[in-house]
Amino acid sequence: MPKSKSKRLLLPAPAKSTGDTGNSPSSSSSHQAPTISQAEYDEMLVTFANGDVDYNMQDHSMDNNAANAGVVKKKRSVKSNTSIHLNGPMEVDGSVKSMGSVTFLGDIAVRDKIEAYGNIEVSGNMTCQDKIKSFGNMDIAGYVCCTGKVKIFGKLTINGHFEVYDNIEVWGAVVIQGYMFVFPKSASPHCKTLTAYASVTTVGDDSYYEVEESETVWGAKMVRRTEGEA
């Protein structure tokens, strides 16, 4: 299967109701492009409360000091109007929110949600106790555990292990070289589902995914025996 370059998906404009449904095209043969509500659009915009400072405007000299290597860094929350690079070990008591991309390196734990206007890249071990939303791609090289919903408008690429304890929705292609599990937390009454609007591909004989409840895949399901297989 030939490799192709991914195209970044920009933040869709909130859907507006025109009131004219008589001449609207039929969508029975294909799914619609991803859209978000006005509330979701407003939520994504980065706002700073009193005392909040853009993460990239803070002094991180202590964090980057070689003498502090291995010391767990504590952050209340992380917000920025540009891309963010977080180096672990780190614990974030609040959320991580960026109008650009977010890169996680090392061991990082986030208590609240993670939202990025661009891509989310993980190289290491990352846990999120709320939802994850990316308007770009999500690339995982390592281990990620999310106890909330996951919504990705771009592609999802897994080289490692991805656990989701709620629903996951991916608009781009899903490529798994490792494992992905989608299942409810113990005693959870809600169904946990996978919705993929493009293809789902596993790479290698040892790669697979498991969904506790139900899955909906609009594209093809494919198996590649090797990473370079065409």
Confidence of residue 190 (pLDDT cuts 50, 70, 90): low
Q: Is residue 220 part of a domain?
A: yes
pLDDT by residue (tens digit) across 122-166? 999 999 999 999 999 999 999 999 999 999 999 999 999 999 999
- Our count of domains for the chain comes to 1
Tell me the Ramachandran region of residue 93: left when phi exceeds 0, alpha when psi lies from -120 to 50, beta otherwise. Answer: alpha
Q: What pLDDT is stored for residue 96 in this prediction? A: 96
Q: Is residue 116 part of a domain?
A: yes
Q: CB-based contacts of 160: which residues, under 8 Å, 6+ apart?
A: 140, 141, 142, 143, 144, 178, 179
Cα 149 from Cα 184, distance rounded (Å): 11
Q: What pLDDT is stored for residue 158 in this prediction? A: 98
* Helix (H/G/I), strand (E/B), else coil: 79: strand
Q: What pLDDT is stored for residue 60 in this prediction? A: 78
Q: Is residue 183 part of a domain?
A: yes
Range in 54-58, 124-128, 215-219 the model is least confident about = 54-58
Q: Is residue 157 part of a domain?
A: yes
Range among 47-56, 67-76, 95-104 with highest mean pLDDT value: 95-104
Q: What pLDDT is stored for residue 54 in this prediction? A: 83
Nearest to 75 by CA among 63, 59, 91: 91
How many angstroms from the chain centroid is the CA of residue 4? Answer: 20
Phi/psi for 38 (5° steps) reads -60, -40
Beta bridge partners of 138: 120, 156
Q: Is residue 151 part of a domain?
A: yes
Confidence of residue 180 (pLDDT cuts 50, 70, 90): very high
Taking a C-beta distance cutoff of 8 angstroms, is the pair 125, 107 a contact?
A: yes
Q: What pLDDT is stored for residue 192 in this prediction? A: 79
pLDDT by residue (tens digit) across 10-54? 334 444 444 444 443 333 345 555 566 777 666 667 776 766 788
Nearest to 44 by CA among 73, 14, 65: 14
pTM above 0.85, yes or no: no
Beta bridge partners of 78: 96
Q: Is residue 70 part of a domain?
A: no
Mean pLDDT of 94-104: 95
Nearest to 227 by CA among 163, 157, 169, 180: 157
| Position 86 pLDDT exceeds 70 | yes
Domain enclosing residue 215, as ranges: 86-224
Q: Is residue 64 part of a domain?
A: no
Number of helices and strands in the chain (H, E): 1, 19
Q: CB-based contacts of 143: which residues, under 8 Å, 6+ apart?
A: 124, 125, 126, 160, 161, 162
Average pLDDT over all residues of the chain: 81
Cα 31 from Cα 169, distance rounded (Å): 14
Q: Is residue 148 part of a domain?
A: yes
